[in-house]
Structure 1
Amino acid sequence: MENTVGDFLRSRRARIQPEEVGLPSHGRRRVQGLRREEVAQLAGVSVDYYVRLEQGRGGSASDAVLAAVARVLRLDDVEAAHLRALARPARPATTAGGGRAVREGTRLLLDLMAGVPAFVLGRRMDVLAWNALGDAVQGYSATPPDRRNAARYAFLDPAAREFYPQWDAVAAETVAYLRLDAGRHPEDAKLAALVGELSVRSEDFRRLWADHLVKQKTHGVKLIHHPLVGELDFGYETLSVNGSPDQLLVAYTAPPGSPTAQKLAMLASWTAPGARVPAE
């Protein structure tokens, strides 16, 4: 899987112009952004050392060196952690399945969150479990098990662009999270296969993947156009599942009394045992 430290570093130094860090531009430049020599100078390391780092031969790079490079390239905390993972890849500590088993306690928690659409994401953005309201919003149970993947849905299902009115933002966030996952698990063959599939079948995915953006999935907003109740304007919160480091519990939220909350109440009544869902 293409995911080298050199590609990431080149993409990050291309964002920064010499004038921004107090260096002269010297007229026409052969490269966009900072040169390798300039990054090395500003980070306080030799040019040869930095070149080796970009070539993927910096496995012994210290925290201090990587922190200096991150400072020069103005990396945020997530990007800096991604750089460390790429520069010093660790052997995978999990099984090839990536922790797909969801604990019974986590499933019970999902069910107890009856008024909140919620689901569990695993490695590679696979959807592993959900509650009734989460299913009513996202339609997971109607999706074949091997297609329950948030990235595959966003880029390969034609319905995704209507389902997500802000599809561009969802697509960029999805790719940035996959990039982060790839940096943490460079030997994950299933992730490599997913990236390969999406790259072949989606020009949009190829373009976004080439940007090397990384982002942790924490919280934000999500606008959904539901086929039955129309527009749903959610906030979302993402929680790590303790004891299952590759799993995230995602919950959609809506202020009480808001139009979205009222539509969720309708969906909840339709998903109650014995209820009949109106025709679309």
Structure 2
Amino acid sequence: MSRMAWRARDFGCRRDRCASDGDCSGSGGGRAAGRGVGWVRWLWLTGSALAGFLRSRRARVRPGDVGLPDGGGPRRVRGLRREELASLAGVSVDYYVRLEQGRCPNVSDAVLSAVATALRLDRAERDHLVRLARPPRSVTVPQDRLDVRAGVWQMLEWIAAPALVLGHRLDVLAWNRPAAGLIGDFGVLAPADRNLARRHLLDTEISRRSPDREFVSREFVAHLRVAAARYPGDTRLSALIDELRAHSAEFAREWEQHPVGTHSHGVKRFDHPVFGMLAMSYEITHLPPDSAQMLLIITAPAGSREEQILQQIATDTYLETTPAGTPVTPTRG
């Protein structure tokens, strides 16, 4: 019997299989959890992702870090063994194995919290663990082309700093004139090319201007990991991830490390074709009621060279002297 056939048969974590631990009640729970995205697809997306995520987090915790002996000899696996993590979390080894395989969709908050604590997960990683181990019974995938509210467009026009609206796939959905002057005119690009991850990882001209390329790549992977867990039925997101894994060795390598998280603020450095190396601050906030859209605003410290450049861009001084061939077009894409 194939591995997939075996998992399809045993998935659901029936009461008679989990009663000893009391956290996986109800027969056929796995099938209900996959409703809306397809049972086999849901199993592959969440089961394999959960197993990979937990293995990656077990690998980074040494027994000595959590007060366990290392056995005194060579270990066959990096980090914690399954039985060690099960002991720390207070569950049986058999139960933890089923959990790691994605066969306990009704696992309790207490068990997930115990596993997260044993693995020393941060808040973003804990949330990610819950999504993978206990996915929603139905998933609403955002539209292929998210509409930006008229009020958001109006806000962008009033913001003097460079500002973008991003979708959950890191598509640039809207931008203002200062953003076009600082980052580039997205209006000259095809909609499919207005994706920050694709531009950073697959466009050599863009990527070479980022001195923090590896860090930025990891941020993009971490964001897309979270998005993939939140929207497991998003075929466009899956296609983007497949494309990046196929054409970017850097993305593929980072993807296997299972970084997760979204950054709300920070500093980005990049080599601007006119102004040279810049270090810009950024803030990101989600736009209600659609949390799939994010507003990114770029600023600079008062009195800095970067502030002067932003003021120059905001007053169109730079745009008026833009060399031919670098057009600035209307920002509605």
Bucket of the pairwise TM-score, normalised by the shorter protein = over 0.9
1:111-165 per-position Cα deviation (integer Å, ceiling 9, x unaligned): 1112x11101102111100111011111122322111011111110011223322
- Paired position in structure 1 for 2:239: 193
1:168 aligns with 2:214: yes
Alignment partner for residue 75 of structure 2, among 10, 20, 29? 29
- Distance in 2, matches of 1:22 and 1:256, equals 48
- Per-residue CA deviation, residues 228-266 of structure 1 (Å, 9 max, x unaligned), is 222221111111101111011011110222100111222
Give the letter aligned to residue 126 of structure 1: D
Amino acid at match of 1:190: R
Matched, 1:136 2:181: yes
Indicate how the Cα distance of structure 1 residues 106 and 271 shifts in structure 2: closer, same or farther if over 3 A, else same.
farther
Amino acid at match of 2:155: L
1:43 aligns with 2:89: yes
From 212, 215, 220, the counterpart of 2:266 = 220
Given that residues 270 and 277 in structure 1 are in contact (C-alpha distance below 8 angstroms), is that contact kept between their aligned partners in structure 2? no
2:282 touches 2:299 (CA, 8 Å); kept in 1? yes
Pick aligned residue for 1:54 from 100, 109, 115: 100
Where in structure 1 are there 5+ consecutive unaligned residues?
none
- Quote the offset at 1:202 in angstroms: 0.8
After superposition, the C-alpha distances for 1:31-60 in whole angstroms (9 at most, x for unaligned) are: 110000111100001111110111011201
In the other structure, the counterpart of 2:201 is: 155
Contiguous gaps of at least 5 residues in structure 2: 1-43, 327-333
The sequence identity of aligned pairs, in percent, is: 47
Aligned 8 A contact 2:181 2:318 in 1:
no
Task: Report how far residue 13 of structure 1 moved.
Answer: 0.4
Distance apart, 1:180 and its partner CA? 1.1
Alignment of 1:82 onto 2:82: no
Q: 1:229 maps to which residue?
A: 275
Other-structure match for 1:12: 57
Mark the CA change 1:95 to 1:186 in structure 2 (over 3 Å): closer, same or farther.
closer
- Between the aligned partners of 1:105 and 1:96, the Cα distance in structure 2 is 20
User: Are positions 1:123 and 2:173 aligned together?
Assistant: no
Paired residues of 1:98 and 1:122 also in contact (CA < 8 A): no
Map Cα deviations across residues 169-205 of structure 1 (whole Å, 9 max, x no partner). 1111111111111111112111111111111111111
C-alpha contact (below 8 Å) 2:64/2:70 kept by paired residues: yes
1:98 deviates by 5.7
Q: Work out the CA distance in 2 between the residues paired with 1:272 and 1:259.
A: 14
Instruction: Tell me, in whole angstroms, the C-alpha distance in 2 between the residues paired with 1:145 and 1:38.
Output: 49
TM-score, length of structure 2 as denominator length: 0.79
Q: CA–CA distance in 1 between the matches of 2:322 and 2:236?
A: 37
1:276 CA displacement: 4.2
Match of 1:71 among 112, 117, 121: 117
CA RMSD of aligned residues (A): 1.8
Distance 1:109 1:23, change over 3 A: same
For residue 172 of structure 2, what is the amino acid of its counterpart? V
Any idea what SS the aligned residue of 1:123 has? Answer: coil
Cα offset, 1:93, TM superposition: 4.1
Moved over 6 A (4+): none
Tell me if the contact between 2:144 and 2:236 (Cα under 8 Å) persists in the aligned partners: no
Instruction: Give yes or no for contact 2:164–2:175 (8 Å, CA) kept in 1.
Output: yes
Residues 1-10 or 195-204, more deviating? 1-10
Q: Which residue of 1 aligns with 2:250?
A: 204
Counterparts in 2 of 1:229 and 1:156: CA distance versus 1, 3 Å? same
Matching residue of 1:106:
152
- State the structure with more CA Rg: 2
Q: Distance in 2 between matches of 1:63 and 1:36?
A: 19
Please give the secondary structure, in 2, of the residue aligned with 1:25. Answer: coil
Retained in 1: the 8 A contact 2:287–2:294? yes
Give the TM-score, by structure 1 length.
0.94
SS at 1:125 equivalent: coil
Q: Which amino acid aligns with 1:57?
A: R
Query: Residues 148 and 271 from structure 1, CA distance in 2 versus in 1: closer, same or farther, beyond 3 angstroms?
Result: farther
